[in-house]
Amino acid sequence: MSTVLSDGVIHVSDDCKACDHCTFICPTGAISGVLGQKHHINPQKCINCGQCLINCPFNAIYDLSKVEELKKVLADSQKFVVVQEAPAVRVALGEEFGQAPGTNVKNKMYAALRKLGFDRVYDTEFTADLTIMEEGTELIHRVYGALGVAGFENVGPLPQFTSCCPAWIKYAEDNYPLVLPHISSAKSPQQMWGAVAKTYLAEKLNVNPANIFSVSVMPCTAKKYECERSEFIASGYQDVDLVITTRELAQMIKDAEIDFMGLADEEADRFVGLSTGAATIFGATGGVMEAALRTAYEILSGESLGKVEFDAVRGLDPVREATVEVPVKALGTSLPVSVCIVTGTKHVAEVIEDVLAGRSNYHFIEVMNCPGGCINGGGQPIRRDTY
Amino acid sequence: MKLFHESEGITRRQFFKGAGMLTVAAVISGVFAKFGFDVFAASDDYIAKRVAGLYTLDESMAIRKSHENPEIIQIYKDFLSPGKVECVSPKAHHLLHTKYGNDIPGFIAELKNPHLVHEAEPAANEETSTEEPAA
Amino acid sequence: MSNVNGKVLKHGTQTRTMHWIHLLAFIILGLTGIGFYWDIGGIASIFGGEANASLVHRWAGVVFVVGPLLYVLLNFDRFSRFMDSISHFSKDDFAWLKVMGGYLPFIKVDEVPPQDKYNAGQKILGWLIIIGCLLIILTGFPMWLWRHSVPAVFLAFCYNVHFWTAIILILLVAGHFFLAAIHPKSRVEFSSMMLDGYIDAQISAHHNAKWFAELKESP
Ligand code: HEM
Ligand code: SF4
Ligand code: SF4
Ligand code: SF4
């Protein structure tokens, strides 16, 4: 087993000042230590989310890094190195180069990655769209199953939970095994991308998948753990070989002395690099839900949405709920789809308890570990704003 | 031996100096607290700004719905469900879906043994292909 | 006035008690605090390990606040006179500062300018201690009580201010100790604060001439 799986991604260094701030940040109680005592993370309980890391006042928490390995791979001409970047990266990477939070730098990011030596530059947003197709279809099947439509008897229970956040997945596996059947079987966009890169993309580009080295740039430390989980080998290889964070990418760009803001805009490569607005908002809490609603609504109703924004699912409150009336052409009726959005794993236990006790009448529940969604992930630039 | 001591009591001036110092201490505490609250309010502003950045980017995109992404349509037609757009097709199921918790060891065994994969492929869902969106 | 006999009550019982409490608390706080900062295991083990040393530090902090606070509330008049004295800088005080009270060997002085109950140096020390205590208290309590809820920047800010104030205070107090207990010119002051409260009238008449002039003789 890789060290990441056994020891976890997140560790406390000797610089710990024993301030005890992190024990409150941690959603799982994985951090032990009291005020005055150096703290320690229990890798069994830790879900690798990195929230403690970005919130440690003394930067005493670090994540295991594979940047050095990546630099070697990039220098190796035998390897065909491909890269995907999560939606949240593009609105935060610029902060490391003097831009305000929220500044979109995706086209400069593509350019910088090419300059760093990646052979092809794609985008996780492509598989975010793919996730919507698969996960959305799964949801429709589960709804049909619950309504007793023939042919959907064994499709899994409602409500369906999202599955994009590996921190949330580990939390559920560790603490609520009974809720696992409720979690969408769709892989996260990162892992879907890994699986199609070494199959579909290899076919399209006519490269030997064994030579493909698949990298992803994530706002997230838990993704480092996710990519090494032993079940992600559907392509016949480890689907995603290596994950770096937004911070690490920024550091690589600085190390390579690339004038990031001076780069000309570029686009992602074709086949698995095209994205939509629906995929872009995956990085924000409620974004997966909104993207799913856009697609589910149009497919179920057969009508085109006038206004694509679902304001009801937006916001930053840790637990939000909304009901959306969806006309279902196949059934000839209208279905009130009831959804819930949780951001911050701390707040999910209550929602799960309700589901397990049968008190929940939601259809679809989005869970993101990080408060605000992936844009505030454990791999994002660390901010210490005072005004 | 003579003993000397200070006169008791305070003058008006002394009273104001004493009370003044207490007031100054209170004011300093207040300023410090105000600073604390301001920092508190500012410290996670960046979350809303990054979220807003994504929504703005969404608005600027030509295509805003996943099922209208031409590359998505292409990957289904060319690869996942040849000739049509069918979600959760056998190949999609194999590449894009996973299992959790205690189901994982068995799942890995399936993945490593292609024969098992075919047997385990769910036969259902075939008649339920999603309608192909008008491209 | 060069020949007065007798004794002057310089610091009353409550003042001396408060000073002792504050000092002891300060020593414990300083020791444990320095232990935290430089990770000195030896200091932590004197107080029963890291976690306990931290508890001792925090509760000593409570004493450090409550002691003086009670004193000020119960002896508002004394406190007021003290504040009045240290906030009043006259020509004589500036003159005193110019010659550094005659403490420095390379500044030759014939006669040090006459001083109040506290000389100009002590007045400045008084202010620095008050401001230092305020800062260290205002940062220490959030570090303890609100460590979970304040943002990381603010916590780091508190730690920095807390630490540097502590260092400055420790140096000040060390200097204060040297002058008040060791330096031959002023160590006579020691007993007036640490023991019975009295000081030789002759000395007061000399060191604190302006104040001595206002004193009343006991019946
Ligand atoms: C007045 C009330 C005080 C309170 C409530 C207080 C509280 C604290 C707390 C909670 C810590 C966190 C360290 C830990 O437990 O690991 C700390 C650290 C410390 N304190 Fe205090 N303290 C006070 C006064 C003082 C004083 C008077 C001094 C020095 C003379 C002092 C010196 C220190 C030092 C040096 C540290 C370590 C700072 C660092 O690691 O950067 N404290 N204090
Ligand atoms: S927040 Fe950082 S410094 Fe404070 S206890 Fe946790 S790891 Fe240590
Ligand atoms: S990474 Fe997340 S789960 Fe792990 S210790 Fe830090 S806050 Fe807790
Ligand atoms: S919310 Fe996003 S960034 Fe945070 S742990 Fe989950 S996937 Fe990673």
CATH number of C200's domain: 1.20.950.20
Residue A7: CATH number of its domain:
3.30.70.20
Residue C4 in domain: no
Decide: B130 and B85 in contact? Cβ < 8 Å.
yes
Identify the residue whose C-alpha is closest to ligand 2 atom 4: A19
Distance C183 CA to ligand 3 centre (A): 55
pLDDT (0 to 100) of residue B127? 41
pLDDT averaged over 10-residue windows placed end to end, chain A, 387 residues? 83 94 95 94 96 96 96 93 97 96 96 95 96 94 88 88 96 96 96 96 93 96 95 93 97 96 94 94 95 92 88 94 90 90 95 93 95 96 89
Q: Is residue C80 part of a domain?
A: no
The alpha-carbon radius of gyration of chain A (Å, integer) is 21
Which domain covers residue C63, as residue numbers?
A: 9-74
Nearest chain B Cα to C4, which residue? B2
Does residue C109 share a domain with residue C17?
Answer: no
- C74-to-B65, C15, C70, C82, C148 alpha-carbon distances in Å: 73, 11, 6, 14, 35
ipTM of the complex: 0.94
C-alpha dihedral sign at C51, C56, C57, C59: positive
3-state secondary structure C127-166: HHHHHHHHHHHHHHHHHHHCCCCCCHHHHHHHHHHHHHHH
Number of domains in chain C: 2
**Same domain as C98, residue C61:** no
- Whether B57 sits inside 8 A of A280 (CB atoms) is yes
Residues C100 and C190 in one domain: yes
Task: Report how many domains make up chain A.
Answer: 1
pLDDT of residue B96: 95
pTM above 0.80, yes or no: yes
A231 is catalytic: yes
Return phi, psi of residue C216, to 5°.
Answer: -100, 150
**Which of C54, C153, C155 minimises the CB distance to A36?**
C54
Rounded to an integer, what distance in angstroms lies between the CA atom of residue A283 and that of residue C192? 69
Q: Which ligand is nearest to the CA of C36?
A: 1
Which residue type sits at C210?
A: K
- Chain A interface includes B8 (CB < 8 A): no
Q: Which two tokens stand for residue A385?
A: 């704003």
A165 counts as catalytic? no
- C3 domain-assigned: no
Residue A116 lies in a domain: no
Is residue C168 located within the same domain as residue C214? yes
- The nearest alpha carbon in chain C to A26 belongs to C148
pLDDT band at C3 (very low <50, low <70, confident <90, very high): low
Tell me which of B115 and C58 has the higher pLDDT: C58
Q: Which domain holds residue A28?
A: 3-64
Between A127-131, B126-130, C16-20, the lowest mean confidence (pLDDT) is in B126-130
- Half-sphere exposure at residue B71, Cβ-oriented, CA atoms within 13 angstroms: 25
Torsion, CA A342, CA A344, CA A345, CA A348, rounded to 10? -30
| Backbone phi, psi, residue A148, to 5° | 80, 20
pLDDT category of residue C219 using cuts at 50, 70 and 90: low
Per-residue confidence (pLDDT) for residue B125, from 0 to 100: 43
Tokens of A29: 């109680």
Q: Cα Rg for chain C, rounded, in angstroms?
A: 20
Mean of per-residue pLDDT scores for chain B: 84
Does ligand 2 have an atom closer than 6 angstroms to the CB of A22? yes
Domain membership flag for residue C83: no
Q: What is the pLDDT of residue B131?
A: 44
Given a cut of 50, whether residue C154 has pLDDT beyond it is: yes
Two tokens at A116?
Answer: 């760093």
Residue C48 lies in a domain: yes
The two structure tokens encoding residue A364? 């679809």
Strands A333-343 and A319-328: antiparallel
Mean pLDDT of C140-161: 94
Q: What is the pLDDT of residue A194?
A: 96
Which residue among the candidates A188, A223, A228, A360 is catalytic per the annotation? Answer: A223
Q: In whole angstroms, what separates CA B95 from the centre of its chain?
A: 26
Domain range list for chain B: 12-59
With a CB cutoff of 8 Å and minimum separation 6, the contacts of A107 are: A265, A266, A267
Instruction: Choose, out of B3, B8, B22, the residue to mutate when testing the contact with C (most C CBs < 10 Å).
Output: B3
Hey, whose CA ends up nearest to atom 40 of ligand 1?
C37
Answer yes or no: is pLDDT of C161 > 60.
yes
Residue B126 has pLDDT above 60, yes or no: no
Residue A42 resides in a domain: yes
Tokens 């000395």 locate to C203
Average pLDDT of every residue of chain C: 90
